[in-house]
Amino acid sequence: MNRYLDISPEVHMALDAGLPVVALESTIISHGMPYPQNVETALLVEQTIRDCGAVPATIAIIGGRLKAGLSQDEIEHLGKAGRAVSKASRRDLPALVARGADGATTVTTTMIIAHMAGISVFATGGIGGVHRGAETSMDISADLEELAQTPVMVVCAGAKSILDLGLTLEYLETRGVPVIGYGTEELPAFYTRSSGFKVDYRVDGPEELAAMFRAQRGLAYKGGMLVTNPIPEKYSMDKAVIDAAIEQALKESREQGIHGKETTPFLLARVVELTGGSSLESNIQLVLNNARVAAETAKALCQA
């Protein structure tokens, strides 16, 4: 085991016993929602995974230690500290570890630490991708590169709709990452169920999804698999409303000179404000939906 990694007793026992475990990110706690809703949501997602018969492993960096499985006190700490906690991507891990600092893990770093711990399935809200205007800014999320090199299945509601979804799919294709639609042939767009872009393959249940991931690992591919699970119809937002909010948020981010890893938190927070909070409720519900699919798939992987 990596000497910088701590696996919680609950997660350690589950992995040793061959029980299903689902990784969860922590950026959604520190950077995705206000306190105390962030902590309440994190605990609810963990409970949802337990209710489905799997073990949750929320991942973060606490005091320079890579953590696979957090205590309730540690989740509370991240939620209260909020954006004072560093948003940690791959490039940030050495500095945070060396300095004994805290870090909230993105999709990228959650995949890295989950793989270190031996966890194969990860549930999140939406992945990062190719930002609009990337042909000049070169702003492409490290999430896409991590999916190309780390063998973890990521269950999400698609790429965040603030992004260029077409270019994101093109990048994933170039890097050999399979994009699987769970019960759909179309890429979901985070807040909405459709985007107009096709996924590579459709699966209609956790057993089929587990079989596909098992085959990928058996072929010794080094990369991961992206599973896109549409937000439940009940919580899907009106496309015209969400598109208008995104365009306004993008305009403001350009005017304020916001760039790099601050872009996504700014845009998501501004969209919440512009939609009167309805996008936050959608965000919570899609994460819970992804947690259920991830837990059922982790169970199917363990039953093989």
234 an active-site residue?
no
CATH class, 127-304 region: alpha beta
Q: Tell which residue, 41, 39, 43, has the closest CA to residue 56.
A: 43
Does residue 133 carry a pLDDT above 90?
Answer: no
- Per-residue pLDDT, 230: 96
Q: Can you give the pLDDT at residue 238?
A: 77
Pick the CATH number of 1-119 from 3.40.1790.10, 3.40.50.1970, 3.40.50.620, 3.40.50.300: 3.40.1790.10
Dihedral of CA atoms 122, 90, 163, 114 in degrees, nearest 10, equals: 0
25 is an active site residue? yes
Q: Domain coordinates of the chain in residue numbers?
A: 1-119, 127-304
Per-residue confidence band for 102, with pLDDT thresholds at 50, 70 and 90: very high
Question: What is the C-alpha separation between 99 and 135, in angstroms, rounded?
Answer: 35
Write the pLDDT tens digit of every residue in 5-59: 999 999 999 999 999 999 999 999 998 888 999 999 999 999 999 999 999 999 9
Measure the CA–CA gap between 104 and 28, rounded to whole angstroms. Answer: 8
Residue of 67, 87, 160, 299 marked catalytic:
160
Helix residue spans in the chain (DSSP H): 9-16, 27-30, 37-51, 72-81, 93-99, 107-117, 134-137, 142-149, 165-174, 206-218, 239-255, 263-274, 278-302
CB neighbours of 227 closer than 8 A, spacing ≥ 6? 153, 154, 155, 156, 180, 182, 203, 209, 293, 297
Residue written as token pair 């320079």: 64
Cα-Cα-Cα-Cα torsion 186, 187, 191, 194, nearest 10 degrees, comes to -30
CB 261 within 8 A of CB 108: no
Determine which one of 25, 46, 74, 296 is catalytic: 25
CB 159, CB 128: distance < 8 Å = yes
Q: What mean pLDDT do residues 180-185 have?
A: 98
Residue 253 has pLDDT above 90, yes or no: no
Q: Do domains 1-119 and 127-304 have the same CATH topology?
A: yes
Average pLDDT over residues 91-117: 98
Question: pLDDT category, 147, cuts 50, 70, 90?
Answer: very high
The partner residues of 86 in beta bridges, in order of sequence, read: 103
Identify the band that residue 261 occupies on the pLDDT scale cut at 50, 70 and 90. low
Token pair for 218: 């058996």
